[in-house]
Structure 1
Amino acid sequence: MTRSPHGVILFNPRSAEHKHRIPNSILQVAASIQNDRSFALVDGNRERDPWSTIRDHLASGRYRYFGTTVMPGPQLRQAVPFAHRAKQEFPEVTTIWGGYFAANQHRTVLSSGVVDFVIDGPGDEAFPALLACLDRGKDPVDVPNLIWTNAEAIIRNRKAALPDMDELAALPYAALDEVYPLHQYLGRTFMGERTLAYHSSFGCPFTCSFCAVVPIYKARWKGVSAERIAKDVKYVKDHWGADAIEFHDNNFFVSEKRSVAFSELIMDEGMGWWGEGRIDTLDRYSDDSLRIMRNAGCRMIFFGAESGDDEELARMDKGGTQSGEQILRFAARMAEFDIIPEYSFVLGFPASSEKEVLDRIDRDISFIRRVKEVNPATEIIIYVYSPVPTEGSELFDRVKQAGFHFPDKLTDWLDPVWENFDLRKNPLTPWLTHRAIDRIRDFETVLNGMYPTVSDIKLDQRKRRMLQQISRFRYRRGAYSRPYEIKLLQKLWRYRRPETEGFEML
């Protein structure tokens, strides 16, 4: 096969200020083109001046395409201005975006005039097919998973079936290691000294109306086989010393058979691991399966509990069989296997009045306290509801009726309030008053003081005990308002927030 002379820059914008994970998104794309053309990996997390590196690549004349992965939030701070600079300084270069933000906000992205194409979902087939069309000067009408413009009209090409992930090329870890030493991505977490970030599946088979995955994958899921996962993990362990794994799948545990087979394959590797799943899915796992997973190093599982109110769960279109009673029962069951359940709750959904919003928040707070009663080890993560454009869902219809809308211009997303919105720090929803937000945040502060997260590995036992001592009175009395003394200690000790920072990495 003749290699194309037109190379590709694959850019991962900065997403965090400190220890960084392997940029799996651009590695996945690089794997799809590594036999066809040259590529340059640029990780904004590891570059002091990433634009200078990108500009040097573009100025060399070897790269015709500039691909960027874009998640909502901090990545926009580099993605947006760099797209403008590339178009201004190198107008002949084609700019291609992928990721949740690009797909879910594609109208705003494409109308900006600085992004030419958006990959809507997996790019393993779409990206090389798009480049092949552009190399030949043809319109990409047959390229799947592509959103683009033609005569100012936005065109959404057909959705491709999810690929057989075992047939996809292996990620080019060695190519990344040549640019950024890979061992520097393997940081210390509560699971191990050198933690690998790994993605083993695409999508999720459910349709939660608040989830950014749903509009892209349409309730589809496809996973790598247990054998392939184990092979990849052992490869990174043997070459760079990984001893723990974070599975960044949207839903790792869809298949009990796969979960158990993977566990059995790495049973003797001494690796701790974490993944995301659904309560109603894992509650169907047998005791033997959960025991095998724990013996193989499963330390914690993240679950979207969302709410203890069955009517609210129905409005979220969670699908499956999850209920408030099941959430409580399963938390207790996990304690039997020494696997920490990490429950996330979403507070602040739209309602017809401020009183109804506050009443729902109070009910959720009471339910979270019940979870802690049945299993105090349960980690609780609280999000303030941030709408996602899941057209046709009852929840998104309620959001629009309440007067909420997203920015119309790409540059407007650079406003700090929208970055914080995407991190669920600063809700801009018209139904949430300051009183409601304070009620959520104050409870969260007291809860985290009473039950500090185990994933904050910098917080020693002395600090944990002190936080618990000053929080105990408030928690027992339900006196959450204005917990300034707890906030002061959390700020002083840089208490980490799992909901926005992920696991602490050293």
Structure 2
Amino acid sequence: MPSSPRTLLINPTVTSRSSARFPLSLLHLSAALDRHGSSEIIDGNVDRDVVDETLRVMQQGGFDAVGISVMGGPQLAPAIDVSKALRERFPATPIIWGGYFPTLYTETALTAPYVDYAIRGQAEESLPELVAALGKSPSVLANIGGLSWKNGDAIVHNANRRFSLTDDGLVLPYDKLGDPRRYLARTFLGRRTAAHQASIGCRFRCTFCGVAAMFGGATQLPAAARLERDLSYLKYELGVDSIQFFDHNFFDREQDMIPLLEVMAKLELPWWCYARADALLNLSESSWKLVRKSRLKMAYIGAESPSGQMLKEIRKGTRPDQTLQVAELCRRNGVIPELSFMVAPPQNSEEETEHTFEFIRELKRINPGAEIIVYIYTPLPDSSRHEKDRGKHPGMPLLDLDGAPVVFPQTPEEWTQPQWVAYACHADAPWLTDALRRRIHDFVTVLRCRFPTVQDMRSPPWAKRGLSAMATWRYRYRRYDRPWELNLANRLVRLRMPQVSGL
């Protein structure tokens, strides 16, 4: 009788150890794999030398495959390092990449000699099927939804798989992380904040969004009983006192949210989530009563732009006036809106950026407690969008400063170059001039010094008050250029930047 397959799951390093949160994607995969086999997890955010730890565990033998979760940006280089080391030391072991990077850049991932298979989108069903099919005929592989693979010199893309929110009646296998309490962090929400994801997907189709590219406008919410079981385990077994929800869009249709809000109102764990302005504005007063009782502290809302035309072009589905309204609504209900904006679009970059700066000032007048996150607008290439959206709503061609078409990287290694890591992190773009790049940096410096984030638990209150006072005159008179004194003070205080470190 053949033995059950055994899989090693790896989360390459992407944060500091103090910022490590539960590797939720690998916990879900591990639970799925363990139904018909077994699995182990290596988390590079805790096991800092992820390559040595991987080789040590592999040396013990018995693994049929290695699955590596890969996001773009800073996680890509360590993913490459561990993949190359595995290929060199254990050349016969299949290496499977999953997550956002191989979903958005499938062909690019499979050009690498150290990647054998790429799973697009959700992997809870595809990965166990793939592991069970290893060593069998190509016809078996061809039936696995969401899989891309190498058949000789050709790359084969199987049909997409409809995703689902499976529930086997068990909480996630947190024990596979050693002591799961080391993943609980002190944040402005509480002393033991845990990361959790209740729903998956998003039913909106924003053209710039990796979630839309991954899930194609679909979403699934959990049953209320499942949410209560999961949160009760975190609260009563692990001692969690607050929750950071990683749901791609927590508030969906009100009628579907009410049972979940009732569970959370019963448990009263302070929480943070992603949300949309229109969804919050559409909640009834009775639902807002549940939101307040559940102790929602902050909602991250993608405002994106003050331009109605741009919001239409990126298929956001919201309006600038809704952004202003939700800032006031959150103020009345004791919720901090964390509003993100994308500046410097490829067309009219300077004009649109200055317009956004003024809109941010209006938001701060309406709700001084609103927090602002500023990113560079870096749209996905059309080839990376979900197959249902490719070719639809094409924007103007992306051109660099010389007027030449932007050519995206063709290999994983090229995506690790600093300019492309910055692009993936919405921190820079090929069409930005040095002057505009400096203008954005200076505005953000003045803004974050004038209004230090409540998420900063490290800087002493006196230092934040001092920086705010120093920045007041610059902010009042719009004197953003070259804030040398704030840059100097920041070397000593080092205010937290939520767009880099989040909670």
Question: Quick one: which amino acid aligns to residue 301 of structure 2?
Answer: F
1:76-475 alignment runs, 5 A limit:
76-138=76-138, 139-167=140-168, 170-176=171-177, 180-319=178-317, 322-351=318-347, 356-389=348-381, 390=385, 391-394=390-393, 397-399=396-398, 403-425=405-427, 427-429=428-430, 431-475=431-475
Is the CA contact 2:272–2:297 (under 8 Å) kept in the aligned structure 1?
yes
- TM (norm. structure 1) is 0.93
Deviation at 1:403, TM superposition (A): 1.7
Question: Quick one: which amino acid aligns to residue 375 of structure 1?
Answer: N
* CA distance in structure 2 between the aligned counterparts of 1:302 and 1:252, rounded to whole angstroms: 10
Deviation at 1:60, TM superposition (A): 2.6
* CA distance in structure 1 between the aligned counterparts of 2:199 and 2:327, rounded to whole angstroms: 25
Question: Which deviates the most, 14-23 or 339-348?
Answer: 14-23
Deviation at 1:488, TM superposition (A): 2.3
Is the CA contact 1:106–1:147 (under 8 Å) kept in the aligned structure 2?
yes
Aligned length: 491
Deviation at 1:5, TM superposition (A): 4.1
Cα 1:54–1:37 shift into 2, 3 Å: same
Deviation at 1:317, TM superposition (A): 1.4
- TM (norm. structure 2) is 0.93
Deviation at 1:168, TM superposition (A): 7.3
2:10 pairs with 1:14:
no
Question: Quick one: which amino acid aligns to residue 9 of structure 1?
Answer: L
* CA distance in structure 2 between the aligned counterparts of 1:140 and 1:237, rounded to whole angstroms: 42
Alignment RMSD:
1.8
* CA distance in structure 1 between the aligned counterparts of 2:404 and 2:194, rounded to whole angstroms: 42
* CA distance in structure 2 between the aligned counterparts of 1:494 and 1:81, rounded to whole angstroms: 31
* CA distance in structure 1 between the aligned counterparts of 2:290 and 2:404, rounded to whole angstroms: 48
Deviation readout 1:437-478 (Å, 9 max, x if unpaired): 111111111111111111111233212211111111000100
* CA distance in structure 1 between the aligned counterparts of 2:242 and 2:475, rounded to whole angstroms: 34
Is the CA contact 2:313–2:395 (under 8 Å) kept in the aligned structure 1?
no
Cα 1:247–1:339 shift into 2, 3 Å: same
Deviation at 1:155, TM superposition (A): 2.0
Deviation readout 1:7-66 (Å, 9 max, x if unpaired): 111000111123210111111110101132221210111113222221122223301201
Cα 1:294–1:398 shift into 2, 3 Å: farther
Cα 1:3–1:374 shift into 2, 3 Å: farther
* CA distance in structure 1 between the aligned counterparts of 2:370 and 2:86, rounded to whole angstroms: 47
Is the CA contact 2:467–2:486 (under 8 Å) kept in the aligned structure 1?
yes
Deviation at 1:137, TM superposition (A): 4.8
* CA distance in structure 2 between the aligned counterparts of 1:9 and 1:326, rounded to whole angstroms: 46
Deviation at 1:370, TM superposition (A): 0.6
Is the CA contact 2:376–2:426 (under 8 Å) kept in the aligned structure 1?
yes
Deviation at 1:420, TM superposition (A): 2.8
* CA distance in structure 2 between the aligned counterparts of 1:91 and 1:363, rounded to whole angstroms: 54
1:500 corresponds in structure 2 to: 500
* CA distance in structure 2 between the aligned counterparts of 1:145 and 1:295, rounded to whole angstroms: 40
* CA distance in structure 2 between the aligned counterparts of 1:162 and 1:344, rounded to whole angstroms: 28
Deviation readout 1:283-322 (Å, 9 max, x if unpaired): 1111221221122111010110001110111111113xx1
Cα 1:239–1:402 shift into 2, 3 Å: farther
Question: Quick one: which amino acid aligns to residue 322 of structure 2?
Answer: Q
Cα 1:168–1:386 shift into 2, 3 Å: farther
Deviation readout 1:87-124 (Å, 9 max, x if unpaired): 12211100001111121111111011110111111111
Cα 1:69–1:3 shift into 2, 3 Å: farther
Question: Which deviates the most, 166-175 or 357-366?
Answer: 166-175
SS in 1 for 2:267: coil
Percentage of pairs with the same residue: 33
Q: Runs of 4+ in structure 1 displaced over 6 angstroms?
A: none
Deviation at 1:395, TM superposition (A): 5.7
Deviation readout 1:249-304 (Å, 9 max, x if unpaired): 11111132343322322334341101101111221111221221122111010110
Question: Quick one: which amino acid aligns to residue 283 of structure 2?
Answer: Y
Is the CA contact 2:147–2:158 (under 8 Å) kept in the aligned structure 1?
yes
Is the CA contact 2:120–2:214 (under 8 Å) kept in the aligned structure 1?
yes
Is the CA contact 1:310–1:323 (under 8 Å) kept in the aligned structure 2?
yes
Is the CA contact 1:3–1:36 (under 8 Å) kept in the aligned structure 2?
no
1:46 corresponds in structure 2 to: 46
Question: Quick one: which amino acid aligns to residue 343 of structure 2?
Answer: L
* CA distance in structure 1 between the aligned counterparts of 2:135 and 2:283, rounded to whole angstroms: 49
Cα 1:434–1:186 shift into 2, 3 Å: same
Cα 1:168–1:416 shift into 2, 3 Å: farther
Deviation at 1:167, TM superposition (A): 5.0
Is the CA contact 2:376–2:429 (under 8 Å) kept in the aligned structure 1?
no
Deviation readout 1:219-266 (Å, 9 max, x if unpaired): 111121232112101102111100100111111111323433223223
